[in-house]
C-alpha cells in the first residue's frame, strides 16, 4: 500500500518558520504518542537547533503507557525536555509551565547578565496535522488568553498571545509539513488520521493495522472481537465482520464496514492503549 502526501506551500511555510525562529526562545513540538517518531517533523531539528526544545507527547491516554515511558526516556537522552499529556482532558497540562521555565534557564541567565528583568519566554508551537496543536493552544491559553500586540522588530501584523506572566506564544506559527520516503511513516500517519481518509483505501489500511496488532499486541483483537487470531489479516477481518454483524444485503460479508470499524476503534482508543512504533526498531 503506497502513501502519497503532497504538502501544501512547503517553501513558504519553511521560509516563514525560519524567520519566526529568530524571534523565539523555545520550540514546543507536539507529537502523537502512538507514533512519536513518525509524527515528528523531520525539518524541525535543523530549523530549531539553536533553541530550547520541548516535545509534548499528546494523546498519551491512547498510547501504551510502557511505551510512553520508553519514548520519554528516548527523547530526553537526545536532549529534549518531554511532557506526556492529553490536551483534551487537560491531563499533564499543569506540568508544562514548570518544564518551560526549566528548558529556558539559559535564556533567563542571559537576560540576567544583560540586566533584562521579567522578559517572558517566547515560544512557537509546531506539529503535523491531527496531533492536537490547536487543542493544546486553546487549553493552555484558556479563557484569559490575551494578545499582547506587535513587538519591536516583529513583522507588522504578527501577534503574540500572553499565556501567563512567564510565557508568550506566537499565534501564527509556521506549520511545516513532513516529507517522507519511508512508506511505514506514511502508513502510521494514515492510521492516526493525519492523512485524509478520502484518498486512502481503508480496507487495505485495516489489514495493515491488523498485522501490526497481531505482531505487537497478540490477543488484543481476540479479546475485543471474540475471534481467534490464527488467521491471515484478511481472514481475520472476515471473522470480525461476522462477529460484528457487518453483513450486506443477501448475506455477503461487508468487509468495508468491518475495516472502517477496526480503524475507528483504534483511533478512538476503544481497541485499547496502543503504540504502533517502539524505540529502537
Mean pLDDT, residues 57-61 taken together? 96
Residue 184 CB: number of other CB atoms within 10 A?
16
pLDDT for the residue numbered 143:
54
pLDDT exceeds cutoff 50 at 155? no
Question: What percentage of the chain carries pLDDT values higher than 70?
Answer: 86
The chain-wide mean pLDDT, for the chain, equals: 87
Q: How far apart are CA 83 and CA 274, in angstroms?
A: 18
Mean pLDDT, residues 160-169 taken together? 85
pLDDT for the residue numbered 213:
98
pLDDT for the residue numbered 281:
82
pTM over 0.85: yes
Residues pairing with 209 in the sheet: none
pLDDT for the residue numbered 12:
73
Task: Take residue 85 and report the three cell numbers written for it.
Answer: 499529556
Q: Given 3-state DSSP classes, what are the helix, strand and coil percentages for the chain, each rounded to the nearest 5?
A: 40, 15, 45
pLDDT, one tens digit per residue, over 72-120 is 999 999 999 999 999 888 888 889 989 999 999 999 999 989 999 888 9
pLDDT exceeds cutoff 50 at 153? no
Q: How far apart are CA 147 and CA 168, in angstroms?
A: 9
> Which residue bears the cell 535543523?
46
Q: Find out whether 183 and 2 touch, Cβ atoms under 8 Å.
A: yes
pLDDT category at 175 given cuts 50, 70, 90 is: low
pLDDT for the residue numbered 258:
98
pLDDT exceeds cutoff 90 at 219? yes
pLDDT exceeds cutoff 60 at 151? no
pLDDT category at 49 given cuts 50, 70, 90 is: confident
pLDDT for the residue numbered 259:
97
Q: How far apart are CA 33 and CA 69, in angstroms?
A: 10
pLDDT for the residue numbered 146:
45
pLDDT, one tens digit per residue, over 221-231 is 999 999 999 99
Q: Find out whether 147 and 171 touch, Cβ atoms under 8 Å.
A: yes
pLDDT exceeds cutoff 70 at 154? no
Q: How far is CA 17 from CA 76, 155, 204, 245, in A?
A: 24, 13, 36, 49
pLDDT for the residue numbered 172:
59
Three-state SS across 67-101? HHHHHHHHHHHCCCEEEECECCCCECCHHHHHHHH
pLDDT for the residue numbered 66:
97
pLDDT for the residue numbered 227:
95
Which has the minimum average pLDDT: 18-22, 209-213, 233-237?
A: 18-22
Q: Specify whether the backbone of 118 is left (phi greater than 0), alpha (psi in -120 to 50) or beta.
A: left
Max mean pLDDT among 144-158, 179-193, 250-264 falls in: 250-264
Amino acid at each position: 500500500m503506497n502513501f502519497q502526501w503532497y504538502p501544501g506551500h512547503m517553501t513558504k511555510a519553511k521560509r516563514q518558520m525560519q524567520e519566526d525562529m529568530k524571534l523565539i526562545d523555545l520550540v514546543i513540538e507536539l507529537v502523537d504518542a502512538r507514533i512519536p517518531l513518525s509524527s515528528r517533523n523531520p525539518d524541525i531539528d535543523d530549523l530549531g537547533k539553536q533553541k530550547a526544545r520541548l516535545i509534548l507527547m499528546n494523546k498519551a491516554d491512547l498510547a501504551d503507557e510502557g511505551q510512553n515511558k520508553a519514548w520519554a526516556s528516548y527523547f530526553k537522552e537526545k536532549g529534549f525536555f518531554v511532557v506526556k499529556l492529553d490536551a483534551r482532558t487537560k491531563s499533564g497540562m499543569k506540568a508544562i509551565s514548570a518544564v518551560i521555565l526549566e528548558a529556558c534557564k539559559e535564556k533567563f541567565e542571559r537576560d540576567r547578565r544583560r540586566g533584562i528583568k521579567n522578559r517572558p519566554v517566547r515560544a512557537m508551537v509546531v506539529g503535523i496535522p491531527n496531533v492536537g496543536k490547536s487543542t493544546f493552544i486553546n487549553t493552555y491559553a484558556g479563557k484569559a488568553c490575551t494578545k499582547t500586540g506587535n513587538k519591536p522588530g516583529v513583522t507588522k501584523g504578527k501577534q503574540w498571545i500572553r499565556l501567563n506572566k512567564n510565557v508568550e506564544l506566537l499565534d501564527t506559527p509556521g506549520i511545516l509539513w513532513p516529507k517522507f520516503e519511508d512508506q511505514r511513516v506514511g502508513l502510521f500517519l494514515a492510521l492516526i488520521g493525519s492523512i485524509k481518509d478520502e484518498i486512502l483505501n481503508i480496507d487495505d489500511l485495516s489489514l495493515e493495522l491488523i498485522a501490526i496488532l497481531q505482531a505487537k499486541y497478540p490477543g488484543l483483537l481476540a479479546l475485543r472481537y471474540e475471534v481467534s487470531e490464527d488467521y491471515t489479516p484478511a481472514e481475520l477481518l472476515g471473522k470480525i465482520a461476522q462477529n460484528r454483524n457487518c453483513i450486506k444485503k443477501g448475506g455477503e460479508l461487508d468487509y468495508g464496514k468491518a475495516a472502517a470499524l477496526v480503524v475507528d476503534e483504534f483511533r478512538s482508543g476503544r481497541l485499547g492503549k496502543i503504540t504502533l512504533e517502539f524505540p529502537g526498531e
